Amino acid sequence: MASKNIVGAVLVAGGGVAGMQAALDLANAGYYVYMVEKSLAIGGRMAQLDKTFPTNDCSMCIISPKLVEVGRHINVELLTLTDILSIEGEEGDFTVTVRKNPRYIDMSKCIACGECTKKCPKKLNNEYNESLDTRKAIYVQYAQAVPLKYGIDAKECLFITKGKCGTCKKLCPADAINYEDKAEEVTFHVGSVVLAPGFTPFKPTEFDTLRYTDVKDVITALEFERYLGATGPTMGHVIRPSDHKDPKKLAFLQCVGSREVNRASNGYCSSVCCMYAIKEALIAKEHSGGALDVSIFYMDIRTFGKDFEKYYEKAKAAGIKFVRSRIHSIQPESGGGVKLNYVTDGGASTVELFDVAVLSHGLVITPETKELAKKLSLATDCYNFAQTSTFAPVALSRPGFYACGAFTGPKDIPSSVMEASAAAAAATSKLTPARGSLTKVVKVPTPVDVSGDPPRVGVFICHCGINIASVVDVAKVVEFAKTLPFVEYASNTMFACSQDSQEKLVALIKEYGLNRIVVSACSPRTHEPLFQETLAAAGLNKYLYEMANIRNHDSWVHAGHPEEATRKAMDMTEMAVAKAVLLSPLKENVIDVDPTALVIGGGVAGLNAALTLSSQGFKSVIVEKDSKVGGNANRIHSTTKGESVADYLSDLKTKVQNDPNIELVLSSQVDKVDGYVGNFTTTLTTGQAVKHGVTIIATGAKEHKPTEYLYGENRRVVTQLELDELLKADDQNVAKAETFVFVQCVGSREPERLYCSKVCCAHTAHVAVELKKNKPQARIFVLYRDIRTYAQKEDLYKQARDLGVIFIRYDLDSKPQFSEDNKKLTVKVKDPVSGHHLIIQPDYAVLAAAIVSGRENELAMKYKVPLDEDGWFFEAHQKLRPVDFATDGMFMAGLAHYPKPMDEVVAQAQAAAARAVTVLTQPKMTVGGIVAEINQARCSGCGVCKAVCPYSAIDLDDKGKAVVNEAMCKGCGNCASSCRSDAPSLRGFTNAGLFAQIATAL
Amino acid sequence: MPEYLVKESSLASFFQALTQGRRLLAPQGQGDNCHLEVSTGPVSLDYANTHLSPKAVFFPQTEKLLAFHKLADKPKPHQYQDLGDKAEPTVIFGIRPCDAKGLSISNKVFQNDRFTDPYWKGKYEKTLKIGLACLSPSPQCFCAAMGGSPFGEVGLDVLAYPKDKGLGLRTLSPAGEELIESTSAEKADLASEIQDLAKKAIEAQGPLDAYQAIDASKLMDLYQAKHWANTAEPCLGCGVCTFFCPTCHCFDLQDEANDLGGVRMRNWDTCMSQLFTAHGSGHNPRPSKVERVRQRFMHKLKYIPIKQDGVRGCTGCGRCVVMCPANIDIRSVAATMAQASA
Amino acid sequence: MSEFEPKVVAFFCNWCTYGAADLAGVSRLDYPPNFRVVRLPCTGRLNPKFIMEAFKRGADGVWVSGCHPGDCHYIAGNYHARRKFVLLHSLLETIGVEPNRLRFSWISSAEANKFQAMARDVIESVRACGPNLTFRKANLQLDLAEVA
Amino acid sequence: MGNLETITQKIREKAKSLLESGQAEVVIGYRAGTIPLVAAPFFARSAADCDQLVWSSFARLNLANYLPNRTEKVALVAKGCDARSAVGQVVENQFPKENLYLLGVPCSGLVDPAQVAAKEPRPIQRATESDDAITISGQGFSVDIKKAEVLRRNCRTCAHRTPTVANELTGPEAPAAKPDDFEDLKTLLAKTPAERLNHFKDLIKDCLRCYACRNACPLCYCPVCFVDETRPQWLGKSTDPMDTMTFHLLRGLHCAGRCTACGACETACPVNIKVREFNRVLDKTVQENWAYEPGLAWEQKPPLTVFQPNDPADFIK
C-alpha cells in the first residue's frame, strides 16, 4: 500500500439520509467527499416523510439541519443530477467518471425566488407528493431542498422540447436560466466508494386483486404519508381520494410486496412497514381528533426496535385495531370506499367496509441500483440487496466498496444512519495516510478587535431582484435606516448574496470602518452563514452580524399591502440594528483534543470500536470488568448466517492483542471521571488514569434469568444462550435429543419489560434449522407471539417451516404451561388454529430469554449521560444520532444501547468509532461562539441551569457557582431563561439584545 | 405666640376657613390605615399617627423632575423641560410633633447654605403645617427621649390639641398666626394647660438614657463596636424602616425613555439595599447588611446630630419599631450602642 | 386608518416556527402584517420577562411559537419552556389579561399552512380584544407640546 | 403547662444541648418581641441566650430565610413551612444538609395582627396568649380573642403544619388544616378579565416597592434580584403601576413550585398587601399540572428543573 498512491477522497453515491450521514462523517474526519445524487436535490425518501416513528418527530424538521450542513460543507462537493458512469481502479485509488446532467439553471445565480415557476404553463405529476398533485416543468423538488436551486425538466419544458414559451427566462430576475445547458462528463479520483442508493417503494400495480391501479380509494402508504404531510397535496388533511371527504374508516394492509414469494418474489420482510403503518394510523387518528376508525391487517407485528413495542401498545391503547389476517383481495364499493373480506383469529369469515385501504408496501431495490451493482461487479442476494457478512456489515464483496442504508437490506432510519457512520469508518480504514490531503480549510484574517469601539453599523437592504423591491419601498427603508442610532452607512443592493455584492460589502466595511453589519434580505436560516463568512473575510468578527428577514417574512407574504410591508421592513431593520448595536464580538477558543478513546466494555462492540479506531490511526484503551474479552459472544455458537462466532472471536482477540494502538485493561471498571470532550480523564478501579478525548460506552447487556417455565428447576429447561453453549461444546445429550420446544418472548414484551429483544426469533429459527439439518427427524416446536425475523432473516423462518419446524402462536394471556412429572417435562400449549391443546414432552425446552440492560446508573452518572426507563443508554436523537450521546464526545455501541444482532452490533461499533474520529481527528477543537456564559457574581448556585441544560454543559465549581463548559454548550439558552437572577447569558442572544428588539418592535 | 380656642360648634367653619385658597390635607382613617388625604371639613382626631410620615407630601416616592424629547422634526429637539414647582398652596392639619420635627430635619438637607432643592422648596414653602399634639403615646412612641415632645413645636406653624371636643391652638409662626386669624378661632390663654398636658404625656413615655450616652461617645468607638454583626443579624434588608422614617430622605435618580423622549425622576432609595452603594465597578463599600444596618443607626443617632447641631436624626415616631418585620427596635439598638461604647 | 391595527410581538424558535414562517414566505401564504418577530434559538431561551416587557411596552398581543414537543433541536428546550408557559399563562389569565392577548403554538418548519392560519387567528383575536390599554405601562406623559 | 410553654421549654433544652454538644453553633429561633403580637428572630449562641428562646403564635417570619450563605452549623426552630423551606434550600444548594439540624415545631397556626386589629382597633399595649386564645389589652380594655378566629389565611389552609422532614419534633403532630381549595380563585376566574385585572391592580395599589415581601422570603436568595438589574434595566424603579405589577408577577413566577405558603411575605409587607394572592395562583397551577408540593423530601426536584414529555398544556395550539 505504501508505494501506491492513496487518494484522500471518497465517493458517496446517494444523497438520502444514509448518504448524507456518511458524507458528513467522512468530511469531518478529514476526507474530501464527492456526493453524487441523481435527482435535483438531496434528502431522499426521508424528506418525503411527515413524521418519524417512534417519537413522531417531524421528519423535515430533523433532516433539514442535516441538509443544510451537507449543502454548506466545504469538503462535500455536491453533484446533483449526476449519474455514475464508471469506477475503475482499486481501493486507495479509484477513477470515477460521472455525467452531470443539465439543470438549465445557473446555480450561482438562482436565488430560488420562484418567479419562474409561477407562469410556467406545464403542469406535471409532482413526484415529491407521489403524484398526488402537480408541479411545473421548472421546479424545486421540495421547498426545503438542498441545493435550493430550481431545475428544468428538459423532457417537458416547452422551450427545450419545442422552442416555444421561454417565459421563465423572461421572468427570472437573476438571469439564471440557461436553455443551452449541456451534460458534461467529469472524472475524479477517490480512495473508496460508499454506496447509499436507497430503495424505492414497492409499486403494487401488479397485484390485480388489491386494485391499486383502478380503485381510487386504494392508496399506498407513502401516498398516505403525503396526505398527512403539512406540505402534502391536501396540506395535512386526510381525505378519501374518490370524493375528498373525510374518511371515517381506514384499513392498513401489511406486507404488500414483502414476505411474498408467490407474486412479488420478495421473500424478505421490509422491516419498517409495521412501524410506519402504526405511525400513520396514530397520526391520522390524532388529526381526526380520535374519531377515525383504523384497522391494521397483519401477519406478525414486527415492532422490534427501541421503543417500538411501547409505540405498538400506545396505538392499541389509542384504539387502533390490529387484525391478524392477510387480506387477499380488495373490492371497490360503489359510491366510494372498499370492501375487505377476511378471516378473524377465531376463524370467522368477515366482510367489512372501509373508506380507504392503505397498502403498506415494502422496500425494493431500484432497477438502476441493480444495474449499478452489476456494473460494479458487486455480489447481491436473490432480492438484489448487496451481500455483506455479519462481521463486516458495511463492506461489499469488492474491496474498496462499502454500503449503507437499504442497499444491504430493508431498514429504518437509525439503522441506516448507524451504517452510514460505519461505512464512513470502514471506507477510510485504508486511507489513513491520505487523511487531510485533499480537504480544504477556510483561511480568514484575524479579526480586528472592535471591543470597546462605539458601534458603527452598516445596513444593507436587499431588493432580491423584484422579490422584495416589488412590494417594499427599499429606498424608503434605506433612508429610514440612516436615521437609526449608530448607523454609519446604509444602502440598497440588487442581490445582497451575489458575489459582487459580497465583495462590495468587504470594501465598505473597510472604507467606513463598520463594525456591525445588518442585512435586510432573506432568512438567516439560509443566508446568515454566507454573510458571516463575508464578515470574516473582511476581518470582522462574524458574530457582529444581524439579519432582518424582509423577504420570507415580509414582501412574500404581504404582497397586497405594500405600505404595511414597507413599515414592517423598517421596523424589522430597526430591530436588527437595535440588536446589532449591542452585539459583542464572540470569541471562539481552541482546546486541545487528546487523540485517544476510552472504550468501556470489551465485548464484540467494544473490540470492534477499538479496532476501527486503530485502523484510523487512533489509540484506545479498552476497560473490561471481566477477566476476559468477548462478552456475550463467548456464549454464542453461530450467527444467523451460519458463521462461527468462536472463530470470529478468537480472530478478533488476536487482532486486539497484537494491535499497538489498543491497550486492554481487564478486570477493571471506571472509578472516577473528570473533564469533557477532548479532555477526559477517567480513573479506573485499577488506579490507572486514562486521558482520552472521547468515550465509547459498550457495556453490553445480560440475558434475563427466567422466573417461569420451570427454569432452574428442570434441567431440560435452558435459555437460548445456554443451548448455544451446549451446541458449542458438542453436548451429547443435545445431539441425542429428539424433541425441542422453543419458547419465544420469555421476559420480553411483558408489562415490566415492554420491549422486544430483537434477536431471539431469528436466532431460534436459525438454531431450529441447524438442528433440523443435523437430524431431520427431530421434532421442533416454536411457541411464539409474533415471529420477528425481519429483513432477509425472513428466509430463515421460511426455511424452518419448509424443513418441518412447527410454529405455534400463543398469547400473553394463554402462555404455554410447563409441568414436571417424574422428571418428565410436559409442555401444554393451545393451538390457536385448531383451538386444541397440544401436549409436548420435549427433551429440551429452550427459552428465548429477554436481553436485559445492565442498568449502568453509576456509569451514566459519572459521564452525565442518560438511561431510558428500561436502562438502555439514551442516544442524542433516536433517528439521526443513534450512536451519539447528547453530551459531546460520548458515544455508544452494542447492546448497551438496545438489543440487536451481531451484524448490527458491529455496524454500530464501527459507527461509534466513526463518530469518535470526527472529534479525534482535530488536534484542536474550536469551541465558543454562541454559547452561554455565567456571571458568577449573580449566581446563587441553586443549580437550576445545570438541571435544565440538555447537554450537561453546566456544572457547579468548587465555590458552588455555575460554570459553562463551552465545549459542550450548544447555545439553546435554556439556562439563561431559567435562572432567576440572570447569571447565565446566551452570547448572541443576550437579554439586552432581546429587550432592544422588543422595544423596537413596538 | 398666642393661643386660640376652637369650640366644637365652630369646628366646621374653622376647617372651612382653612381650605380657603388652598387644599387641606388631613389624616383619614384609623390604625394602620390612616393617611393624609385631601379633606374639606372636620377631621377625626382619633388616630395614633399616619401610616406613612408626611414627608411624602414634600418628597413623593416618585417625582418627575424633567422631561425631554428626541423628535428631530420638532423645534428645539433634545431640549428639556423642568417639571418642578407645580406645588399648590396647602395646609396640612394633624401632623404629629415627631413628624414635624422630622420634616424640619429633612428641610435642612434639602435647603441649606450650600444647596437648595427646588422641588422640595416649592412644596415646603407653600405648605402651612398644623400639628396635633399627642395626649397619650403609643407603645412604640419615644419622642421625648429623642429630645422632642408630644407637644413639640419644631417645624410647625400651628400646634393644635384636642380640647373639649374642640381644639386648642398655639400659633408658632407669622404665617400660622395669619392663618388662624383668618378663621373663627378665638384667642385664649392656654399656656399652662399646654404645659401640664405636655408634662403628663412625656411622663407616659419611658425614659431612655441611652441617647445621652451616644451623644457623649466618640464616633469611631460607636462605629467600631463589636455588636453590629449581631445587631444586623436578624435584619432582612428590606428597608421598610427607611421608607417609613420621617427623616430618611435618600433618593435615586432614574431616566425612563421611549422612542419619543423621556423623563428624569427621583425615587425613594434606601441604604438598606446593597444597590444603594454599589459602584459601577462592582465594588461596594457597604458590602453586607452589617455595614448597612450600622449606617442607618449611626446616621440617625450620630451623623445627623453632628451635622445638625445635636439634633438627632430619629424623632421617636416609632414607625420603624412597628414596621420592622424582624422587630429590630431602635431603642434596643441604641441601648446596645450606648453599652458598647461605654 | 381608523380601524385598530394590533401590534403583536412574536417569539419564534429558529428551528421550527421561524422555519415555518420562512416556508410560508416561499409558499406566498399571506397573513396580516401586524406582528414583529423576535428570533430565538429555542423557546427554551424565552424568559417570561420578555413577554412581560412586550406587554409593558404596549404590545396588544404576544405570540410564542416553537417546535412540537419532542421535536426540539436542543432535545428538551421546549419541554422546559412549556412548563414556564403553563405558569405564565395561568398567572396572566388569572390576573385578567385576556387569554387571546397571549398565544402559544407549536408549529414545525413544515407547517406553513398552520403558520398562516395561526398568524391570522392571532391577529384577528387580538384585534377583537381591542387595544391594550390596561396591561401596559402608561405613556411617559412627556408633555411634548410644552417641551417643544 | 400549656402546649406553648412545653414547646418553649423543649426548644430551650434542646437548643442548649445542641450548642453544648457542638451539633449546632447557632440556634435560630424566636424571642419575645419588643411590641405586642410579635415574636422576633433570635440567634442563640450560648446557654444564656437559649433562655430567651420562645415559641408563640406570633412567630410569623420564616427562619429558613437566615440559612443561605451561613457557614455555621445551624439548628433551626422550624414550623412546618419553615422546615419545608429549609429542605427546599438544601435541594437548591443554598445550605449544606450536614450543617442543618431541624428542630421541628408542630404548629397550630399563627395569629394575624391585621385580623386582631380588625376586631380590636384600639391601640394595643400588651398581648399574651394561651393555647387557644390571645388576650390583648390597652388603655382601659382587655379582650380575649380565640386564635382560630384570627389565624393568618395561609395557616388556615396549611396541610403541613407539622414538619414533614425534621431531625426531631418538639411535640406531638399538630392536626393538619383542610388544604387550600382555591375556591376564591375559582370564583374570581368566573369574573371578566377586566374585573380580575382591576382586582389585582387594586390589591397592589399601595405597594411601595420596598421589597420587604421579597426580603422576608426564604426563596429570594438571589445575589441580584431582577428588580435590581441594570444591564439592561428593564423594570422601572418608580411606583408606576405596571412596573409594580410586573414585580409582583415575576416574583410570583420565581416562587412557583418552591413556595411553601409560609406567609412571611405578607407578614413583612408594611402596607398589608396580600402578596400571596399571586403565589396562590401559581400554587394552584403547580399542584394541578404537576401534582407537586415543595419541601416535603430531600430528593424532590423542583418542577422547573424537570419535565415530563406528556406534561399537560392544552392552551398551546
Please give the residue of chain C at the shortest CA–CA distance from A880.
Answer: C73
Q: Residue D193 and residue C98: Cβ atoms within 8 Å?
A: yes
Q: Residue D313 and residue C82: Cβ atoms within 8 Å?
A: yes
Residue A143 has pLDDT above 90, yes or no: no
pLDDT at A916: 96
**CA–CA dist B275, B295 (Å, integer):** 14
pLDDT at A600: 98
Partners of residue A567 in chain C, C-beta under 8 Å: 33
Angle at A111 between CA A109 and CA A117, to 5 degrees: 105
pLDDT at A498: 79
The CA distance from A570 to the nearest CA of chain B, in Å, is 14
Task: Dump pLDDT digits (tens) for B4-24.
Answer: 999 999 999 999 999 999 999
Q: Which of A111-120, A204-213, A296-305, B66-75 has the lowest mean pLDDT?
A: B66-75
Please tell me the total count of domains within chain C: 1
Mean pLDDT of chain D: 94
The CA distance from B17 to the nearest CA of chain D, in Å, is 31
The CA distance from A550 to the nearest CA of chain C, in Å, is 10
DSSP string spanning B286-301? S-SHHHHHHHHHHIII
pLDDT at A123: 95
Select from B70, B256, B259, B275 the residue whose CB has the most chain A CBs within 10 Å, as the one to mutate to test that interface: B259
Task: Dump pLDDT digits (tens) for A9-32.
Answer: 999 999 999 999 999 999 999 999
Q: Residue D216 and residue B322: Cβ atoms within 8 Å?
A: no
Chain D residues with CB-CB distance to A under 8 A?
68, 92-94, 221-226, 229, 231-232, 234, 254, 301-302, 304-306
The CA distance from A1000 to the nearest CA of chain B, in Å, is 8
Whether residue C2 is contained in a domain is answered as no
Please give the residue of chain A at the shortest CA–CA distance from D223.
Answer: A938
Residue B80 has pLDDT above 80, yes or no: no
The CA distance from A992 to the nearest CA of chain B, in Å, is 15
Mean pLDDT, residues B256-278 taken together: 89
Residue C143 has pLDDT above 60, yes or no: no
**CA–CA dist B276, B271 (Å, integer):** 6
The CA distance from D123 to the nearest CA of chain B, in Å, is 7
pLDDT at A213: 93
Angle at A536 between CA A530 and CA A540, to 5 degrees: 125
Give me A495's grid cell.
442581490
Q: Which of B61, B233, B329 lies at the smallest CB-CB distance from D239?
A: B61
Partners of residue B72 in chain A, C-beta under 8 Å: 483
Q: Per DSSP, what are the bridge partners of residue B36?
A: B27
Mean pLDDT, residues A234-258 taken together: 94
pLDDT at A308: 96
Q: Residue C148 and residue B74: Cβ atoms within 8 Å?
A: yes
A179: contact with C, CB 8 A cutoff: no
Residue A842 has pLDDT above 50, yes or no: yes
Residue A672 has pLDDT above 60, yes or no: yes
Q: Which of C141, C146, C148 lies at the smallest CB-CB distance from B75?
A: C148
Mean pLDDT, residues A294-318 taken together: 96
Top-ranked range on mean pLDDT: pick from A670-679, B192-201, C58-67: C58-67
Residue A611 has pLDDT above 90, yes or no: yes
8 Å CB contact between D136 and D172: no
Q: How confident is the model at residue A662 (pLDDT cuts 50, 70, 90)?
A: very high
Task: Dump pLDDT digits (tens) for D204-254.
Answer: 999 999 999 999 999 999 999 999 888 788 899 998 999 999 999 999 999
Number of B to C CB contacts under 8 A, please give it: 43
Residue D193 has pLDDT above 90, yes or no: yes
Q: Residue C109 and residue A552: Cβ atoms within 8 Å?
A: no
Mean pLDDT, residues A318-328 taken together: 93
Residue B75 has pLDDT above 70, yes or no: no
What does the domain layout of chain D look like in residue ranges?
Answer: 3-305
Whether residue C3 is contained in a domain is answered as no
Amino acid at the residue A105: I
Residues A748 and A817 in one domain: yes
Q: Which of A326-330, A342-346, A960-964, C42-46 has the lowest mean pLDDT?
A: A342-346
Angle formed by the axes of helices A308-317 and A273-287, nearest 10°: 40
- Report the predicted TM-score, pTM, of the whole model to 2 decimal places: 0.83
The CA distance from D101 to the nearest CA of chain A, in Å, is 20
Q: Residue A982 and residue D224: Cβ atoms within 8 Å?
A: yes
Please tell me the total count of domains within chain A: 7
Select from C43, C85, C91 the residue whose CB has the most chain D CBs within 10 Å, as the one to mutate to test that interface: C91
Mean pLDDT, residues A520-532 taken together: 89
Mean pLDDT, residues A537-562 taken together: 94
Task: Dump pLDDT digits (tens) for A360-400.
Answer: 999 999 999 999 999 999 999 999 999 999 999 999 999 99
C138: contact with B, CB 8 A cutoff: no
Domain that holds residue C125: 8-147
The CA distance from C126 to the nearest CA of chain B, in Å, is 24
Mean pLDDT of chain A: 94
C145: contact with B, CB 8 A cutoff: no
Residue A640 has pLDDT above 70, yes or no: yes
Region at A520 (left for phi over 0; alpha for psi -120 to 50; beta for the rest): beta
pLDDT at A61: 77
Q: Residue A947 and residue D232: Cβ atoms within 8 Å?
A: no
What does the domain layout of chain B look like in residue ranges?
Answer: 3-207, 212-341
Return the closest-CA partner of residue A505 out of A524, A523, A518: A518
Q: C44: how many CB neighbours lie within 10 A of its CB?
A: 33
Amino acid at the residue A652: L
What are the angstrom distances between the C-alpha of B61 and each of B239, B268, D225, D275?
14, 5, 21, 20
pLDDT at B74: 61
Q: Residue A230 and residue C110: Cβ atoms within 8 Å?
A: yes
Return the closest-CA partner of residue A769 out of A807, A812, A730: A807
Helix (H) or strand (E) segment spanning residue A315: helix A308-317
In terms of pLDDT, which residue wins out, A638 or C27? A638
Task: Dump pLDDT digits (tens) for A437-489.
Answer: 999 988 888 888 898 899 999 999 999 888 899 999 999 999 999 999 999 99
The residue behind cell 451446549 is A726
Angle at D168 between CA D162 and CA D170, to 5 degrees: 65
Amino acid at the residue B247: T
8 Å CB contact between C115 and C24: yes
Residue A922 has pLDDT above 90, yes or no: no
Q: Omega into A54 within 30° of 0, i.e. cis?
A: yes
B280: contact with A, CB 8 A cutoff: no
Q: Which of A430-444, A904-918, B35-49, D76-90 has the lowest mean pLDDT?
A: B35-49
Helical H runs in chain D? 3-21, 47-50, 80-91, 113-119, 153-156, 183-189, 193-203, 212-215, 241-255, 264-268, 276-290
Domain that holds residue A881: 592-663+678-700+854-925
Partners of residue C75 in chain A, C-beta under 8 Å: 876-877, 886, 950-951
A984: contact with C, CB 8 A cutoff: no
Q: Residue A235 and residue C45: Cβ atoms within 8 Å?
A: no
Q: Which of B72, B259, B282 lies at the smallest CB-CB distance from A937?
A: B282
Q: How confident is the model at residue B84 (pLDDT cuts 50, 70, 90)?
A: confident
Whether residue C86 is contained in a domain is answered as yes
Find the CATH number of the domain harbouring C21. Answer: 3.40.50
pLDDT at B76: 60
What's D138's DSSP letter?
E
Task: Dump pLDDT digits (tens) for D6-23.
Answer: 999 999 999 999 999 999
Residue A1 has pLDDT above 70, yes or no: no
pLDDT at C144: 53
Q: Which of B267, B268, B322 lies at the smallest CB-CB distance from D35?
A: B322
pLDDT at C110: 83
Find the CATH number of the domain harbouring A809. Answer: 3.50.50.60
**CA–CA dist A796, B309 (Å, integer):** 107
**CA–CA dist A473, A469 (Å, integer):** 6
The CA distance from B258 to the nearest CA of chain A, in Å, is 8
Residues A607 and A473 in one domain: no
B282: contact with A, CB 8 A cutoff: yes
The complex scores an ipTM of 0.93
For B:62-91, CB contacts with A below 8 A are 72
Partners of residue B282 in chain A, C-beta under 8 Å: 937
Task: Dump pLDDT digits (tens) for A591-603.
Answer: 899 999 999 999 9
High-pLDDT (> 70) share of chain A, %: 100
Residue C1 has pLDDT above 50, yes or no: no
Please give the residue of chain B at the shortest CA–CA distance from C58.
Answer: B258
User: Which subunits sit against C, judged by 3+ Cβ pairs under 8 A?
Assistant: A, B, D
Partners of residue D205 in chain C, C-beta under 8 Å: none
Mean pLDDT, residues A679-696 taken together: 96
Give me C29's grid cell.
401564504
Partners of residue C86 in chain D, C-beta under 8 Å: 285, 289, 311-313
Helical H runs in chain B? 11-18, 55-58, 97-110, 118-125, 174-181, 191-204, 210-216, 219-223, 228-232, 240-244, 289-298, 304-307, 319-323, 330-341
pLDDT at A3: 47
pLDDT at A333: 93
Q: A934: how many CB neighbours lie within 10 A of its CB?
A: 20
Q: Which of A940, A956, A978 lies at the smallest CB-CB distance from D223?
A: A940
Mean pLDDT, residues A266-273 taken together: 96
Residue B71 has pLDDT above 80, yes or no: no
Q: Per DSSP, what are the bridge partners of residue A266?
A: A260
Q: Which of D92, D234, D302 lies at the smallest CB-CB distance from A995?
A: D234
Find the CATH number of the domain harbouring A965. Answer: 3.30.70.20
The CA distance from C146 to the nearest CA of chain A, in Å, is 25
Task: Dump pLDDT digits (tens) for A805-837.
Answer: 999 999 999 999 999 988 789 999 998 888 889
Task: Dump pLDDT digits (tens) for A846-884.
Answer: 999 999 999 999 999 899 888 888 999 999 888 999 999
